[in-house]
Amino acid sequence: MAEDGGHATIIKKVKKGKGGGHHGGAWKVAYADFVTAMMAFFLLLWLLNALDEKKLKGIADYFTPTWTVFRDAGASHTMPMMAGTPDINVGQGGVSMPSFERSDLTPPPSPMDLQPDMAKRPAANPADEAPPEELPVNDPAEAMRRVLSGERLEAPKTMQTFEQAVQDAAQRMVEARDRARERDIAARGAAERRSFEDTADRLLKAISSDPSTRELSGNLTLRVTDDGLEINIMDREDEPVFPSDGAEPYPAARRLLALAATTVRASPNQIAVRAYLGGEPGTRPDAWSLTAERAIAAQKVLTDAGVPVARVEEVSGRGQSTMLVPDQRADPRNNRITVVLRRTVPVSS
């Protein structure tokens, strides 16, 4: 304070409050300790309910102080003493004790001294007590809920019970997975078969709507097999597909192959091109080479009509190995070109 012209100068300092501020993260540590303690507590509850009486007694004995008991043959009572203390002999002839005053650390009487008639009580009838319910090994959450509600649960009798439960659960999972896979394969197989049937219908409509190929419908057969959709372009008596000794198809066969290419190129399936020759085996020494050349010629017609080369996964000459009409090997229909839309889904057994 100073005087200036008779007036006092007063300086006032005001401290501004800073609010609650940041209290730090100490509460998080305390909360984590609390959660850990609760987990340990619940685990202890579960162990107390899961273990049988024999194991609980073993655990209790482990934490019980060791007492030394001296019993004379004619004694009417016993006196327990802590291990390491001087011996006290109790008998009919009197009591022999060391010459020092009684310490405050004298152990308490044993439960048998407090309840001498314990051994005389009749054993409880096991039938009168409801057996504890067995602990469900496959649902720990349900077991914990029931333990917290006060129910007494019993652990599985042996480890074999637990292992068998695990094996049964694993087997059920495998069986469920296999059934799901089979249902998926069956569903995809049915969808693929419908796609094959739709492709066949579109090809037949395209042939019947074109005047240049309408009369060639007798040279064509369609069928769905385990291999896929087979499009067979075959000889007839009055309308052969190939010259008897040639590899280049006739114009009529080319038109059929071009229509087949237009139809199948919209499908994602891979394509196989195979050529067959009729007759008895060995009657045509050039059967293998001739059918191979015919298959290559047919594949070229397909790719020229728009089928991507990458979709053709097989071009093969089959010689006289497989007949379309097995009981009539000389039938002209056995001379054929087969275009196969291959399956992507295996046929379920």
pLDDT for the residue 348:
67
Give pLDDT, residue 73.
Answer: 42
Please give the full DSSP string across 318-338, using - where no structure is assigned.
-TTS--SSTT-TT-GGGSEEE
In angstroms, the CA 57 to CA 48 distance is 11
Give me the pLDDT at residue 55, please. Answer: 77
Half-sphere CA count of 343, side-chain side, radius 13 A: 18
192-342 maps to CATH 3.40.50.1100: no
Divide the 349 residues of the chain into consecutive groups of 10 and give the mean pLDDT of each group.
60 60 75 91 83 77 60 44 45 46 49 49 54 51 64 58 81 90 90 93 91 87 94 92 91 93 92 94 89 96 95 95 91 94 83
Would you tell me how many other CB atoms lie within 10 Å of the CB of residue 302?
Answer: 25
- Give residue for tokens 């008991």: 69
234-263 residues labelled b (16+ CB within 10 A) or e (exposed): bbeeeebbbeeeebebeebbbbbbbbbbbb
Q: Which residue ranges make up each domain of the chain? A: 192-342
- Give the torsion sign (CA, 48, 51, 56, 59): negative
Residues forming beta bridges with residue 154, ordered by sequence position: 134
Single pTM value for the model: 0.52
